[in-house]
Amino acid sequence: MATGRTHRPASRSRGIPEATVARLPLYLRALTALSERSVPTVSSEELAAAAGVNSAKLRKDFSYLGSYGTRGVGYDVEYLVYQISRELGLTQDWPVVIVGIGNLGHALANYGGFASRGFRVAALIDADPSATGKITAGLPVRHTDELETIIRENQVSIGVIATPAGAAQEVCERLVAAGVTSILNFAPTVLSVPDGVDVRKVDLSIELQILAFHEQRKSGEEALAAAAEAADADGPGTRGKPEKSQKATPLAAPAKAAKAAVKAAVARKTGRSGPDGEVPAVMPA
């Protein structure tokens, strides 16, 4: 799962919890696989295993959709595929545009999973004039100038942003102004949008950082803690949360000094981390 989410204010639409909606595609994929193997029915236990979730959770999720399923037997695969598809809105065709045909945009344009789920790439759009006209994934790359026209003519309501971060907000605004109300953002920026517009964000860099966090935990923190100890005056074990007991003791001054010391040390080796804020996750710098 791509990660961070910047979607709607956590309100549930028509009784279906957001968390459940996020899992429906998972179930749908597992069911599709079963369908291809011509499996007629499946129990909550089996399907849950295939989708990688708890069976109780799965049953509760389905209960929000209605009472599909037969006690003592399980769920009819084809029937469930249809119901979930309908609930997700995949029974209709969704034209989408991809803006920013760099390395990632190129990969997205070639992604085969679109069509099979009711998504259709209406157009590829890029700001670079030299890229315009190039056939990519069977479609000519159009110039940004045509953005509004393309959106309106194709009734596009879903846009994918794969531009550098610097261009993302502007592209976003133009998309919204032209009528797009759902945006999938690959640029490493926080997009601000008016109410009524959904934004979901995918950021590889964030996923990797979360993995690194857990990895650090697993590989024993000792070595690193020891190394950091020299610079960090807080001491290694105390860091969890400042002791409640350090009331108003004259600890303020030393703590301040420690911060300053670390700051200085940090300043010395700053310059390593280049600006990565300008390229979307999964694009060459």
Partner DNA sequence: CCATCTTTGTGCACGCGTTCACAAAGGCAT
Partner DNA sequence: ATGCCTTTGTGAACGCGTGCACAAAGATGG
What's the closest the beta carbon of residue 134 comes to a copy of itself, in angstroms?
16
Q: Does 62 bind DNA (CB under 7 A)?
A: yes
Task: Round to whole Å and give the CA distance between 272 and 274.
Answer: 6
Q: Does 3 bind DNA (CB under 7 A)?
A: no
What's the closest the beta carbon of residue 241 comes to DNA, in angstroms?
6
Angle formed at CA 272 by CA 268 and CA 274, multiple of 5 degrees: 130
Task: Round to whole Å and give the CA distance between 246 and 215.
Answer: 32
What's the closest the beta carbon of residue 202 comes to DNA, in angstroms?
18
Task: Round to whole Å and give the CA distance between 151 and 113.
Answer: 22
The dihedral over CA atoms of 66, 70, 76, 81, expressed in degrees to the nearest 10, equals 10
Map residues 177-196 to x or -, x wherever contact with a copy of itself holds by CB under 8 A: ----xxxx---x-x-x---x
β-strands 41-42, 198-201 pairing: unpaired
Task: Round to whole Å and give the CA distance between 255 and 252.
Answer: 5
Identified binder of DNA from the candidate list 4, 25, 32, 74, rule CB under 7 A: 74
Identified binder of a copy of itself from the candidate list 45, 46, 78, 148, rule CB under 8 A: 78
Cβ partners under 8 Å of residue 102, min gap 6:
126, 162, 163, 164, 280, 283, 284
Cβ partners under 8 Å of residue 264, min gap 6:
none
Map residues 10-29 to x or -, x wherever contact with DNA holds by CB under 7 A: x-x----xxxx---------
Window of 64-72, 141-149, 155-163, 272-280 that interacts with DNA by CB under 7 A: 64-72
Cβ partners under 8 Å of residue 53, min gap 6:
23, 26
Identified binder of a copy of itself from the candidate list 17, 59, 64, 143, rule CB under 8 A: 64
What's the closest the beta carbon of residue 20 comes to DNA, in angstroms?
7
β-strands 75-76, 41-42 pairing: antiparallel
Q: Comparing C-alpha atoms, which of 139, 141, 152, 84 is closest to residue 117?
A: 84
**Which listed option, DNA, a copy of itself, none, makes contact with residue 44 (CB within 5 to 8 Å by class)?**
DNA
Identified binder of DNA from the candidate list 2, 25, 45, 258, rule CB under 7 A: 45
Task: Round to whole Å and give the CA distance between 178 and 44.
Answer: 43
Identified binder of DNA from the candidate list 252, 257, 264, 266, rule CB under 7 A: 252
- The residue with tokens 């119901």 is 83
Token pair for 177? 């102004």
What's the closest the beta carbon of residue 242 comes to DNA, in angstroms?
6
**Closer of 218 and 247 to a copy of itself (Cβ):** 218
**Which listed option, a copy of itself, DNA, none, makes contact with residue 1 (CB within 5 to 8 Å by class)?**
a copy of itself
Q: Does 67 bind DNA (CB under 7 A)?
A: yes
Q: Does 1 bind DNA (CB under 7 A)?
A: no
Residues in region 97-156 near a copy of itself by CB under 8 A: 103-104, 106-108, 110-119, 137
* Residues at the interface with DNA (CB under 7 A): 10, 12, 17-20, 43-45, 53-57, 59-60, 62-63, 67-75, 241-242, 244, 247-248, 252, 256
